[in-house]
Structure 1
Amino acid sequence: MKIVVPNQHGAWAMLLIPYILGVAASSFRLIHIPLFIGWFFLYLATYPLIMVIKGNQVSFYIKWAISYFFISFVFLALVMFAEWRLIYFGLAMLPFFLLNIYFVKRKNERAFTNDMIAIGVFCIGGLASFYIGQGALTSEGWSVAILVFLFFLGSTFFVKSMIREKKNKRFRWYSWGYHFIALLLIITLKDSWLWIIPFVPSLIRAISLYNKKLTIMQLGIIEIINSVIFLVVTSFLFL
């Protein structure tokens, strides 16, 4: 039997990095394990659910959606039994998911706004991870969400400038300008210039690789490497 999993490979980094940074910025607790499992299967459930909304093989995908949601519910229920306030994070995700459904219905899932919405959802996952480790949402927890949002928004600009908008010269300047602005924002928000280090590779690749003939696989590998660098360096700075 073919296992149904999301086909957007970049989203896996968005799933993992905010969560791991939430742990790095707070402290690891055993409850992080069932929380992640629940979060993981909740993410898996979104893909077959979207297929159902699109009307693609409804009977097939709805079984997978229900299965994933059930597993997610079991683990998240265990976590909320220990910390019921996590329900607020789930409620915060709901408007984002409804907006995602709106774009699916419009057959415009690749819209830039929809990408921002997806990043926002994963940032909430990072906030939940931080909250579990810290017991409260402090400024450090919000900085996790901000840094992750800025990083993945940069990835969105870069990938679109290389694929869908590669012939759009104006979008090139949007991408480059955003990466410079992100560095300025980080310098403003954080108390040390060291925090710009995880974002420097993003700026370099956005400028140096523009207009280069790269395959989708090559772009994916570049983004994986860049994401790993961001994760490792940012985790070190939080420790």
Structure 2
Amino acid sequence: MASRALRRWLPQQHGAWAMLLVPLLAGMLLAEPSPWHAVLLAAWLLTYMALFHAQQWLRLRRHSRNPRAAGRHTRPALVFTAALLPLAAALVIHAPWLLLAAACALPLLAVNCCYARANRERALVNGLVAVVPACGVLPVAVLLGGGTWVQAGLPALACLLYFIGTVWYVKTMIRERDSRAYGWASALFHGAALAVAWLCLSPWLTAFFVVCFARALVMPRLGRMRPAAVGAVEVVLSVLLLTAVVVAYG
């Protein structure tokens, strides 16, 4: 019973957790350790969970035939928001510039809400838009630890390139596995990401993007894979990305 309730409250979007945590952890590890990083981590996760349930409420309110389906997300959304507010207030009092960061993220989050309301959460554009604020938390964590924009720029670019590539790649493995257009687009993006890594990033990240490019070319040709297997590969690559970023720029 408890595990069922936990599944209802915690989002089961496993790929989203990696995208949320890797840039944030990278920013924390690249900066000087600060107690405010713990507050930021808690606030960041609460923001995601509150938004997830709010978006599910928006989606189900319009598209579910079950009149009670949307209501199941009301309480989690309110509880997570209530837990978030004091943490957000403390962060803003400590670092008022966080209001500007939040203002930059709001239009992107609004796009995600619009896609949820239209029941098109799996749309390519929706996934690509979600990557930007997720990677944007890296410079926030760096600045909160006393770092600089210069220190945060290249690591944030590395995360952005990887997670945008992952959106394309996962499409070619699951929903668009029979689409040649998606396959070519994924391969071209990963090739471009590798070129950017070679020109702008470190040798460690160049080697990492060689692996990403190879998996974008080879894995779709291996036939159907279960989503769990696709996700497991991305978890391993996410850990490798975090390691490469910290080794290269830490």
If the TM-score is normalised by the length of the shorter chain, which range does it land in? over 0.9
1:22 alignment partner, SS class: helix
1:84 alignment partner, SS class: coil
Q: How many residues align?
A: 237
Give the equivalent residue in structure 2 for 1:13: 18
Q: CA distance change for structure 1 residues 201 and 9 in 2, over 3 Å: closer, same or farther?
A: same
State whether residues 199 and 230 of structure 1, in contact with CA within 8 Å, keep that contact through their aligned partners in structure 2. Answer: no
Q: Give 1:35's aligned amino acid.
A: L
Q: 1:175 aligns with which of 177, 186, 211?
A: 186
TM-superposed deviation, 1:235: 1.4
TM-superposed deviation, 1:88: 1.2
Is 1:37 equivalent to 2:42 in the alignment? Answer: yes
Cα distance in 1 for partners of 2:120, 2:88 equals: 31
TM-superposed deviation, 1:135: 5.0
Deviations along 1:14-34, whole A, 9 cap, x unmatched? 110010111223222111001
Instruction: Give the alignment of 1:1-239 within 5 angstroms.
Output: 2-3=5-6, 4-54=9-59, 55=61, 57-136=69-148, 138-190=149-201, 192-212=202-222, 213-239=224-250
Q: Give 1:129's aligned amino acid.
A: A
- TM-score normalised to structure 2 length: 0.89
Cα distance in 2 for partners of 1:62, 1:118 equals: 22
Deviations along 1:33-84, whole A, 9 cap, x unmatched? 0111011111111111012112163333111101101111111212222112
Deviations along 1:159-184, whole A, 9 cap, x unmatched? 11111111112221211111111011
State whether residues 123 and 145 of structure 1, in contact with CA within 8 Å, keep that contact through their aligned partners in structure 2. Answer: yes
- TM-score normalised to structure 1 length: 0.93
Cα distance in 2 for partners of 1:195, 1:222 equals: 18
1:109 alignment partner, SS class: coil
Q: CA distance change for structure 1 residues 233 and 144 in 2, over 3 Å: closer, same or farther?
A: closer
Deviations along 1:128-160, whole A, 9 cap, x unmatched? 111101354x22212232111100111111111
Q: Alpha carbon RMSD of aligned pairs, Å?
A: 1.6
2:221 alignment partner, SS class: coil
2:35 alignment partner, SS class: coil
TM-superposed deviation, 1:119: 0.4
Cα distance in 2 for partners of 1:110, 1:58 equals: 19
Uncovered stretches (5+) of structure 1, i.e. residues with no partner: none
Uncovered stretches (5+) of structure 2, i.e. residues with no partner: none
State whether residues 155 and 245 of structure 2, in contact with CA within 8 Å, keep that contact through their aligned partners in structure 1. Answer: no
Cα distance in 2 for partners of 1:180, 1:124 equals: 23
